[in-house]
Amino acid sequence: MREFIVEADGGSRGNPGPAGYGSVVIDAATGETLAERAEYIGVATNNVAEYRGLVAGLRAARELDPSATVRVRMDSKLVVEQMSGRWKIKHPDMKPLAAEAARVLPAAQVTYEWIPRERNKHADRLANEAMDAGKRGEQWEASASRAGLDARVRETPAAPEPAGPPGDAAAGAAKAREALTRSHRAPAAAQAPSGTEDAPATRVAPATRVAGAADGQAAGSGGDEDTTKTRADRRAARGVAAQAAVTEAGPAPDAGRAAEGGPGVTPSVGWGAAPDLGAPATFVLLRHGETPLTPQKRFSGSGGTDPSLSDVGREQAERVAAAFARRGTIQHILASPLARTRETAGAVAARLGLEVTVEDGLIETDFGAWEGLTFGEVRERHPEDLNAWLADPEAEPTGGGESFAATATRIAATRDRLVARYAGRTVLLVTHVTPIKTFVRLALGAPPESLFRMELSAASVSAVAYYADGNASVRLLNDTSHLRP
């Protein structure tokens, strides 16, 4: 199904006064401008002009594809909140316009998002062109527009071409180092002020949380039900030689120092004149709630008994659903095909009024003959296979399960497909321990042994954002605050 972005604006020189609107329809997958609409509407208020722009943009989207989903972006908080149903419409001039906008496409196909004025320049310029034409006693004509269908290309410097798939750490670190070096060489007056709001993807978000595994943590990556290792096992896992990431280029030599402002690099707040990359595709990664196997620390992958949630797990699912309902940011829900993830996703979907799409690529690793066993039982029965598995991401569990390398390949392909499909959207992915840790590992460009150094609790929330230039930003890891009373 196609997805369009409609950006709309309206203005009035006098409020009320001579007024006009502008609308643009953009292909969400490619960023290509598909249609422009603008019109001088005579004497009207700003809000009426904004609503007229919305109606025109929705109609243009319907003409292109009546089955497409549409994401409306406007800098009018009033219109966005009213059309989202959160604010009442009291003004008599706006009620019929809002009703008209609601009739253009089915409500399930349209969502609304507020954006700052500076990110709505294309529609704003079209509205001003329409008002200028009205002042001359004319109507706006597309053939005479200075905005043009390539306005975005002329207005915004092209983002650098990614050297790898979204989340490629080597390419991202190289861009970060280049930006930092430019900032270090530039005069102080040319650097971005500390209050810069629209920082590019390579800037570390203030809300980023970092989690590490201390010796006392359950550090196992052993699938859905994390297994607690002995101290010796944990030390062995930490001593595994660094491996190149399976489907990524791996961390650049100076990646850590560049990000942290190490020797020879002076970090600045913001990256100066970097392009506005737009809203990222944000994956909110939810591990399912507890099953009967979880407190027993047993391997539970895709090759086992496919347990459902326990009573504790169902309560966890309800708590996380309530938390997402309060935040109100989730736009789509995808789930692994296993019972525990579908049940967890269903609880969230019921609260948010959304549907669950099953995504096979989010399934847990197959742990072969280890399914249903504790880590200690695997150590006792298959010691050589376990040691190989801890040391080599290509090693498979006993009995022909799925290696971490194969899981990484599968998750990277799933990630790339979903990033393209949900560009600029916030998507809840309800999945399992190994897939979530792999999403995070690939985003960070961390080596495979990092899987053993992350704690991931049942019903925990993590998040990764993927930007248009190929960079990724880990926003959250193992948040369980919603489970506390």
| pLDDT by position in tens, the chain (length 485) | 789 999 999 999 988 899 999 999 998 887 888 999 999 999 999 999 999 999 999 999 999 999 999 999 999 999 999 999 989 888 888 899 999 999 999 999 999 999 888 889 899 999 999 999 999 999 898 877 776 444 444 444 443 443 333 334 344 444 444 444 444 444 333 333 323 233 223 223 333 333 333 223 333 444 444 443 333 333 333 333 223 332 333 333 333 323 333 333 333 334 444 456 778 999 999 999 999 999 999 999 998 889 999 999 999 999 999 999 988 889 999 999 999 999 999 999 999 999 999 999 999 999 999 999 999 999 999 999 999 999 999 999 999 899 999 999 999 999 999 999 999 999 999 999 999 999 999 999 999 999 999 999 999 999 999 998 888 999 999 999 999 87
Residue recorded with tokens 């915004």 = 156
Residue 298 has what DSSP assignment? Answer: B
The stretches of 392-453 forming alpha helices (DSSP H) are: 404-421, 433-444
pLDDT of residue 334: 97
Cis peptide before 16 (omega within 30 of 0): yes
Rg of the chain over all Cα atoms, to the nearest angstrom: 25
CA angle, 212 then 217 then 218, to 5° = 110
pLDDT of residue 64: 94
- C-alpha to C-alpha distance for 339 and 342, rounded to whole angstroms: 5
- Residue 431: phi, psi to the nearest 5? -145, -150
Q: Using an 8 Å Cβ cutoff, are 411 and 437 in contact?
A: no
Q: How far is CA 279 from CA 31, 419, 461, 469, in A?
A: 12, 12, 20, 11
pLDDT of residue 234: 34
Q: How far is CA 400 from CA 104, 205, 397, in A?
A: 54, 41, 6
- C-alpha to C-alpha distance for 308 and 381, rounded to whole angstroms: 27
- C-alpha to C-alpha distance for 165 and 413, rounded to whole angstroms: 9
Q: Give the residue numbers marked as catalytic.
A: 288, 364
C-alpha neighbours within 13 Å on the C-beta side of residue 352: 28
pLDDT of residue 163: 38
- C-alpha to C-alpha distance for 150 and 23, rounded to whole angstroms: 14
Number of H helices and number of E strands within the chain?
Answer: 14, 11
